[in-house]
Amino acid sequence: MAATRPAAPVVIGVDSSTQSTKAALVDATTGALLAVGRAPHTVTGSDGARESAPEAWWSALREAIAAALAEARVPASAVIGIAVAGQQHGLVVLDAAGRPLRPALLWNDTRSAPQAAELTTALGGPGAWLARTGSVPVASMTAAKWQWLRAHEPAVAGTAAAVRLPHDFLTERLSGIAVTDPGDASGTCWYSTEKSAYDPELLDLLGLDPAVLPAVAPSGATRVGTLTAAAARALGLPGTVTVAAGTGDNMAAAVGLGLGGAGLLDHPVVSLGTSGTVFAATRTRPAAPGLAGFAATDGTYLPLGCTLNCTLAVDRFAGLLRLDREDAAPGDGVVVLPYLDGERTPDLPHATGLLTGLRHTTTPRAILGAAYEGAAFTVLRALDELLTACGLDPADPRVRERPLRLIGGGARGRAWTDTVRRLSGRPLVVPAATELVALGAAALAAAAATGEDPVALATAWGTGHGETLPPVAHDEETWERISGVLDRAAPALLS
């Protein structure tokens, strides 16, 4: 009788985002996506509050992995590694038994805007923060959320035995080890990208005991251990599965695109999801006031501009207008600033949406198109600052010829793609892979299990490859119209 051929090694990349968990089963050798399991999250809150229960993330992770294993019909014994990429900045506070003391404050919770401003002043202004962390505190940063908790729920803050980011919480549930990575840690505003370590002076400023924080692994691909017995039982996986340190969602997307020290450097990415981001991997340590000066997870850096209002805001306009999201036309003189949840870049945490330029001839399709334009403009406006942070001249024709890599749910929509092409005037690459955060996490898992470089692995897998769309003429008229409205409206939006 012929011997049974062993199953090919498989890794699991987990994308624990704001709205859902996705678990990708990936062939560790070829990078082939075998299956994706999904489970939703619940986000609660109003008037700037955005919270989720961390235990629900763990339940969603279990559900998503079970669904992926069932769909792929892969034996659990084939799984060799797992890594979690999570939504950045969220504040998770735990008791001594590892149980959440309250729901997590999410990245898009804007209640901590006053604390962000207070922190900026307390250290001596934006320049002092840029020199240490590469970022200036805004409402989304974890340090501001911790200060909000101290001010509004001091009993909870005072009894917290552990402070975690969302991906840290899940990695600890998997491995039993409290660990984070440089990429996700750099979004806290208490980690120094200058020294690649927690900053003791900032921790003192925040009244934060370093003992409650996880250790920082050298990279997201660091092997931190294996599944605990409890996690192995809960997931139906062998206890021998390697657990990687994991990282933040933007850092994992960069790995999935093959960006970093072993791949592409200084090539910009536009991500269109619940939030809109523009980022690039670079060897130049960023320190620009309009950007988050993150570390990448592989030893390079990941400067990033982020907006709160992207696909969700535009979908809201489509719903109000009773239109399909693709049933949009150019704005035709209408300007929409879709700041329905405040805004992060520009830093307008208390802003509301603005609609101007209406005439009797204005159509609903034009209003929806203007919402697309306003959201895309807000993301793209940060592009020149991003390129400058990478040490590049945005006006250099050779730099302008570098295509934007367009990812996220919006990249699958014609209206989004057309709007970004028109407002950027640049060529686009739209990767064929749809789960780049999960695929990047899978590369981290495979690297932790095999000792290979995760960016080199993702590059060999080809997960960043896709269709190239040539540039179209830059719509300068629409760009200047939106820019003028934003500049005039900013003082009112700040109030």
Q: Show the 3-state SS of the chain.
A: CCCCCCCCCEEEEEEECCCEEEEEEEECCCCCEEEEEEEECCCECCCCCCEECHHHHHHHHHHHHHHHHHHHCCCHHHEEEEEEEECCCCEEEECCCCCECCCEECCCCCCCHHHHHHHHHHHCCHHHHHHHHCCCCCCCCHHHHHHHHHHHCHHHHHHCCEEECHHHHHHHHHHCCCEECHHHHCCCCCEECCCCEECHHHHHHHCCCHHHCCEECCCCCCEEEECCHHHHHHHCCCCCCEEECCEEHHHHHHHHCCECCCCECCCCEEEECCCEEEECCECCCCCCCCCEEEECCCCCEEEEEEECCCHHHHHHHHHHHCCCCCCCCCCCCCEEECCECEECCCCECCCCCEEECCCCCCCHHHHHHHHHHHHHHHHHCCHHHHHHHCCCCCCCHHHHCCCEEEECHHHHCHHHHHHHHHHHCCCEEEECCCCHHHHHHHHHHHHHHHCCCHHHHHHHHCCCCEEEECCCCCCHHHHHHHHHHHHHHHHHHHC
Dig out the tokens for 446 from the structure: 């495979």
Percent above pLDDT 70 for the chain: 98
Is position 161 within any domain?
yes
pLDDT number for residue 6: 56
267 is in an annotated binding site: no
Was 147 annotated as part of a binding site? no
What is the span of the domain harbouring residue 120?
10-249
pLDDT digits (tens, 9 = 90+) for 298-333: 999 999 998 889 999 999 999 999 999 999 999 999
Tokens found for residue 183: 């990429």
Using the predicted structure, report yes or no on whether residue 490 has a pLDDT greater than 80: no
- What's the pLDDT score for residue 4? 42
Q: Is 249 annotated as catalytic?
A: yes
| 160 assigned to some structural domain | yes
**Is the pLDDT confidence value at 347 over 90?**
no
Kindly give, in sequence order, each residue whose CB lies less than 8 Å from that of residue 484, ignoring residues fewer than 6 positions away.
none
Q: Is residue 494 part of a domain?
A: no
Tell me the two tokens of residue 365: 């399709």
Structure confidence at residue 185 (pLDDT): 98
Q: How high is the pLDDT of residue 343?
A: 85
The reply to whether 282 falls in a domain is: no
Residue 205 lies in a domain: yes
CATH number, residue 47: 3.30.420.40
Averaged pLDDT, 184-198? 97
Are the C-beta atoms of 179 and 168 separated by less than 8 Å? yes
Residue 357, pLDDT above cutoff 60: yes
**Token pair of 399 as six digits:** 């730099």
pLDDT range class, residue 41, cuts 50, 70, 90:
very high
* Domain contains 472: no
Q: What percent of the chain has pLDDT over 90?
A: 87
pLDDT-wise least confident of 99-108, 174-183, 342-351, 359-368 = 342-351
Answer yes or no: pTM beyond 0.85: yes
Query: At which residue do the structure tokens 């990448």 appear?
Result: 296
pLDDT at 251 over 90: yes
Residue 495 has pLDDT above 60, yes or no: no
Instruction: Give me the amino acid identity at 316.
Output: R
User: Mean pLDDT, to the nearest integer, of 254-273?
Assistant: 94
Q: Which of 249, 298, 347, 418 is catalytic?
A: 249
Q: Is residue 281 part of a domain?
A: no
What integer pLDDT is reported at residue 345 of this predicted model? 81
Bridge partners of 108, per DSSP, are: none
pLDDT per residue as tens digits for the range 138-157:
999 999 999 999 999 999 99
Asked if 114 contacts 181 with a C-beta cutoff of 8 angstroms, the reply is no
Q: What is the pLDDT of residue 273?
A: 86
What tokens appear for 41 in the block?
């999250």
Confidence (pLDDT) at 364: 97
Question: How far is Cα 194 from Cα 106, in angstroms, rounded to an integer?
Answer: 26
Whether residue 317 lies inside any domain: the answer is: no
Mean per-residue pLDDT of the chain? 94
What domain count does the chain have?
1
CA 170, distance to chain mean position in Å, is 16
pLDDT tops 80 at residue 3: no
Residue 2 has pLDDT above 80, yes or no: no
pLDDT of residue 356: 95
